[in-house]
């Protein structure tokens, strides 16, 4: 982006500012209008619509970014030699990056594409591999289901108290408590883990997109 100049450079800078602002604004309040995003980004509404024709298009891009970040974190964790450290690092970094909070908050607010579905499937496979390796090594309880991880991240990323620094500090505290509870135990977890269908149902659009709702 630094190599770009003139209108192309400004457009690239606007895109970065819009995405950063959108992530902050829409994670906190997915119903916020695009005018709020544009204001937070410090760009005019026309600059916003030149890059994203609708709010749905912006949400779709944010979700793609979140899925790609998830995959990068998973690949980096999987490269670690120690199974427990790979699993714990995976969990810690997903929580710290807030990618799960991002995608869950946006679920059902836009129509996923094949790219979204492919990235989500790849993310699921990596999570299963990291968890399975740790379970085979005897460092994570055997009755933990891969779908349980989504619920654990959802609980941790729901922590939003005070400013960003305090929120991050509290998440670091509670992720360690959660990790200790995921170590092997003589007790058995009650009830069944959520199914992939139950989690996936949240991605069904909540209402048909139209020209009015898409630009709100």
Per-residue pLDDT of the chain (216 residues; tens, 9 = 90+): 455 556 677 777 888 999 999 988 988 888 899 999 999 999 999 989 989 999 999 999 999 999 999 999 999 999 999 999 999 999 999 999 988 777 777 878 888 899 999 999 999 999 999 999 999 999 999 999 999 998 998 889 888 887 889 999 999 999 999 999 999 998 999 999 999 888 888 888 766 444 444 444
d(CA 110, CA 80): 35
Distance CA 153, CA 88 (A): 12
Q: Where are the beta strands (DSSP E) in 71-134?
A: none
Find, among 122, 162, 147, the residue nearest to 198 by Cα: 147
Q: What is the pTM (predicted TM-score) of this model?
A: 0.84
| Cα 177 from Cα 173, distance rounded (Å) | 7
CB 139 within 8 A of CB 87: yes
The residues, any chain, with a CB within 8 Å of residue 122's CB and separated by 6 or more, are: 71
CATH 1.10.357.10 matches 61-205: yes
Residues of the chain with pLDDT > 90, as a percent, come to 62
DSSP class of residue 31? T
Maximum CA extent, the chain: 64
What is the chain's Cα-based Rg?
19
- In degrees and rounded to multiples of 5, residue 189 shows phi and psi of -65, 135
Picking from 68, 92, 87, the residue whose alpha carbon sits closest to that of residue 130 is 87
End-to-end, the C-alpha distance of the chain in Å comes to 29
């Amino acid at each position: 982006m630094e190599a770009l100049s003139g209108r192309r450079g400004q457009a690239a800078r606007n895109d970065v500012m819009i995405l950063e602002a959108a992530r902050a604004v829409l994670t906190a309040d997915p119903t916020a209008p695009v005018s709020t995003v544009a204001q937070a980004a410090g760009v005019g509404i026309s600059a916003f619509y030149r890059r994203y024709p609708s709010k749905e298009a912006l949400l779709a891009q944010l979700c793609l970014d979140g899925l790609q970040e998830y995959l990068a974190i998973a690949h980096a964790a999987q490269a670690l030699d120690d199974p427990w450290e790979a699993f714990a690092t995976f969990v810690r970094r997903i929580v710290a990056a807030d990618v799960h909070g991002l995608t869950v908050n946006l679920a059902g607010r836009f129509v996923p594409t094949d790219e979204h579905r492919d990235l989500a499937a790849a993310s699921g496979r990596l999570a299963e591999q990291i968890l399975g390796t740790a379970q085979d090594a005897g460092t994570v309880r055997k009755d933990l289901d891969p779908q349980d991880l989504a619920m654990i991240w959802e609980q941790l990323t729901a922590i939003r108290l005070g400013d960003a620094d305090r929120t991050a500090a509290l998440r670091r505290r509670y992720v360690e408590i959660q990790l200790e509870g995921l170590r092997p135990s003589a007790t058995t977890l009650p009830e069944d883990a959520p199914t992939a269908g139950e989690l996936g149902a949240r991605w069904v659009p909540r209402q048909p997109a139209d020209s009015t709702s898409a630009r709100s």
